[in-house]
Structures are given as C-alpha cells and as structure tokens.
Amino acid sequence: MSAVVESRALGGAQQPLLGDTDGARIVAWRNGRPVDTGSFLADVAAIAAQLPDRACAINLCEDRYAFLAAFCAIASRGQTNLLPAARTPAAIAETLAAYPASYALGDSDAFGASVRRIPALGATGRATTVPRIDAAQTVAIGFTSGSTGQPKPHAKTWASFRASTAANARGLREFLPGSTTAHVVATVPPQHMYGIEMSVLLPLLAPFAVHDGHPLFPADVAAALARVDAPRVLVTTPVHLRALLREPLELPPLAAITSATAPLPQELAAAAEARYGAPVVEVFGSTETCVIAQRRCALGEDWQLRDGIALRPQPDGTLVDAAHFETPVALADLVELLPDNRFRLCGRHADLVEIAGKRASLGDLTRRLAALRGVEDAVVIQLDEADAFGVRRIAALVVAPTRSETDLLDELRHSIDAAFLPRPLRKVAALPRNGTGKLPRAALLAALAT
C-alpha cells in the first residue's frame, strides 16, 4: 500500500480557483456553444457580486454550468455550498432550518420565490481576475443519501477538493488521448458528490469541459454527446448504461465512460465496451471520502487505489486515510489488500446476513437474481420485522417483464441456498431509484408493502 504523508493541509494558504488561466481554454458547453475561461470568470464574478453576506448557500442550480459558476462564486465569497441529499421543498426547508445563516440559490423559479435567482449568464463579457480561496475553507457540505438512515453532513475544504479533483483528472487522463481537452456529458445531477467530482470540478484544474445538461433518456444522451467536441467522456451510472444498451441508437464516438453510485456488473461493462469501443472506468468512493480508487471491471474485479490513499481493514469495515483528510474515515466496506496498491471488495459489514447458521451477502444475492434470464433490474434486502420463528427474512423486487415470479424463484433455487430465497419476490414495473440510481430503503419497503 502507498504511504500516506503525515502532514495535513494547513489553513491560511491561498489557492487559485483555476489551475490554468488561459482565457481561451474551453471550460464548458452551454446551449451548444463553448464557454471559455474569460467568460466563465465573468459569470463567477457577476454571481458573487449579488450574493448576500451569509455563511452558507444551498446550491440548487440545475443547469450544470450554472451550478459550476454558482459553486465557485459562493466559494469565492468565503461561503459554503450546501448540497442536501434531496432537493424537495421539505429537504430545502430542513437544511435552511439546520443552517440558520444560509439562503437558497437557483437558476429557475422551480423551487419557489424564496430561492434567489442567479443573474443571467454570459451577459457580462469577459474577466481575467482569478479568485483565490483559503485552502482550509469549507467550500461544500455534502450529505449522505439517507438510504441507511438520516442524512449526515460531510464538510469538504478547498484543499481536499483540489487534491481529489487532481487525482480524478489523472485517473481519467490515462484513458484519453494526449493533453487535448476532453468534453464531459453526465447523466448524474451536479449536486451529487460523484456528479461534482466527475462532471463539475474537473475543468478547474485540468483540460476538461463540461456539458450544461442533465440528459437521462438514451436519445437525450446521444443528442448531448453530439453537441460537444471529441474526445468525449460519458459520466453515468449502471442504470443509465443499461438503458443505453437496450436501445439500438448509435452514440457519437466516446473516449471513455465512467460509472458509479451502484456496483457495475462485469457483463454490463464488457457489453458497453464492445458496443461503444471505449473503456468503462468504474470509480469507487463515498460522500465522506470522494473517489479513492478505480478499475476497468470488464477486465477484472480488483480496484486500483489513487496515489496517497491508504486502507486499514477493520473487523467491521475499513479505515481510509490520505494526506488531504483531516482524520481517517471509516467505511462499512470490507476489503482484501493486494500488492501494488490494489484491493478487492468483499462486501459490506451491514450487507452480511445470517439465517439458520448460514451467511450470505445481500449484494451477492442481488447479483445472482439480476443475472437470471429476462431480469432487467433487481434488488434483495432483509426485512426489518422477524417472522414467527424470530428470523428476519429476505425479500426481493425484480423488473422482469417476460418472467413470472414463480419461474424466477424456481431458477434461483439452483444458485442460492434455500434459506436465502427471497420471500416475497415481487415483480414491479421499475425499482424506486432516486436521481443517482440509488435505492432508499424506505422506498423499497414501501414498494414491498404495496
């Protein structure tokens, strides 16, 4: 494993917003047109000039370029971007109440009159002044999704974001030609940590440009890719990648595809590489740590750690450490350390279930169910309530239009122990995934109940 530098980022050091101040470099695509550094800096300054003197701002901008410009404007004013796990009126109200010295900022009237609107973008010409931000300033607070409990805040300093963004750029450039600017289209929202890392912050420190949209349907993804230059990078999730492969439409040439938010099946990655002629790079991380590793899972299951990251296995998970962390971070993932800064995931401590003296992984059970013929999507969970024998049973939701529940259970008997057969196994039209493809437990239990 690589050694971790003992020193931590200290406050007081001023770090620039941009690593490259070439005013003609493209940092984004908006409405089908390139936005260069000079125009971007002008938009950042225009937004910053209109912000109130508060400590925090909930960044609700839906346009990815508007989110980037607002994110930088908020940070340049010494304020913190608040990124709640959901953007519902209730979640916004709860965040405002939890952070009294905050306000909400957006690029539309979708969230009501109480949300401040950013000024029109592209209306103030060009600028050359690059804001400098204190390395120790908390520029963002991300919140866990709440799929396993109440959302918890996780602060990100400017120094830590710069370090993780630089590592993401290096990891992605391995698959891109030369130093040519790569152009990113993403199906994930900018407020999600994976979205921020791989489709928002990259242009600040490396030759990348981001598309302003948030395409979801295959035809929209193809249209968005066609509106940016090559080389193109698609930042997506297994759910969106599977939807793309189900459609016969052709995509513009891709240089690379990244995936996160849920485990990427090896067969899905291999099918995407064969179809689009581009490497599929799965990244591994969390809201707490940001991205710490990547792999090309079509070629193998082992993960390659980012430089400067160290893992320390624990009985109930793994401690993750890096020079840009204030303290080591505990994750529930169980890992096996391998030579050359590699590791293998062995599931999650909370993912392991025991019934009748036997153990199984919910992730492995889900993988086996999803691999059955005709299954388009699936999830296996353990119920909260015990049955008459005191056993918390296994249940499943499955999207399989051409199969019956009985057929699926009969086939599943051949690959898993009878103790872990899901009862009930229920067919649904679609799993209750959120905007990033995750499955909140409350939504799963509600679907099973109906």
Residue position matching structure tokens 């420190």: 205
- Where residue 356 falls among pLDDT bands split at 50, 70, 90? low
What the block records as the tokens of 122 is 């592209």
What the block records as the tokens of 378 is 């699936």
pLDDT for 125-154, tens place per residue?
899 999 999 999 999 999 875 444 567 899
Share of the chain above pLDDT 90, in %: 61
**Mean pLDDT, residues 318-334 taken together:** 90
Domains, in order of start, for the chain: 14-348 (3.40.50.12780), 356-449 (3.30.300.30)
What is the per-residue pLDDT for 157? 95
**Mean pLDDT, residues 330-342 taken together:** 92
pLDDT for 2-24, tens place per residue?
333 233 333 458 999 998 888 78
**Mean pLDDT, residues 422-434 taken together:** 89
What is the per-residue pLDDT for 364? 81
Beta-carbon count within 10 A of 86 CB = 18
User: DSSP code of 360?
Assistant: E
DSSP string for residues in 197-263: HHHTSHHHHSSEEEES----SHHHHHHHHHTSPSSEEEEE-HHHHHHHHHS-PPPPP-SEEEE-SS-
